[in-house]
Amino acid sequence: MPVLRDTPYTAFNFLVEIEPGIGRELRAGFSDVSGLNNEITVAEYRAGNSKVNHVQKRPGVYKAGDVTLKRGIIGATDLWDWIVATREGRVSEAKRTVVVSLLAENRDDVVVRWKLQGAMPMKWTGPTLAGKGGGDVAIEELVLSVESVDQE
């Protein structure tokens, strides 16, 4: 683990590892990861015999937000196969653990690791195709429903 420092780490050195499904491993060379978050609901309560006229706030349930992964199309069907497994209700293949690791500049040291538990695809968006330009990469986007996000 790298030492504490005054300058923040850059956002472009990261790895995405997806737990393999039944007999298959996903190729995870992603260019973007967004939506890493946790949200804790707050329950408000005021006892009838409270001496002060305001509510007390207590932590309630928490939930993880949806996480979006983007990658250039490489001709692999691994993401689509994952979507099909989810669509067909094969829960043992659909729910996976995804680990996102932020790396130091040397690309060897892991600065922080986020573990996404119970991740399964909920939306896939294909690339925008256009005949003009010619230099753009065809990007596919996968939105994951995540049960929990933990930081290691």
pLDDT per residue over 38-92, tens digit each? 999 999 998 889 888 889 999 999 999 999 999 998 888 888 889 999 999 998 8
77: tokens are 């069907």
In whole angstroms, give the CA distance from residue 7 to residue 122.
Answer: 36
26: tokens are 């996903």
Q: Assess whether pLDDT exceeds 90 at residue 132.
A: no
Say which residue the tokens 């850059």 belong to: 10
pLDDT band at 1 (very low <50, low <70, confident <90, very high): low
Instruction: Estimate to the nearest angstrom the gap between the alpha carbon of 105 and the chain centroid.
Output: 22
pLDDT per residue over 93-105, tens digit each? 899 999 999 998 8
Lowest model confidence (mean pLDDT) among 121-125, 127-131, 140-144: 127-131
Rg (CA), the chain: 20
In whole angstroms, give the CA distance from residue 100 to residue 8.
Answer: 18
In whole angstroms, give the CA distance from residue 66 to residue 38.
Answer: 10
Q: Assess whether pLDDT exceeds 60 at residue 2.
A: no
pLDDT band at 36 (very low <50, low <70, confident <90, very high): very high
The 3-state DSSP class for residue 6 equals: coil
Topology of domain 14-40+60-151 in CATH is Pnp Oxidase; Chain A (2.30.110)
CA max distance for the chain: 71
pLDDT band at 19 (very low <50, low <70, confident <90, very high): confident
Q: Assess whether pLDDT exceeds 60 at residue 108.
A: yes
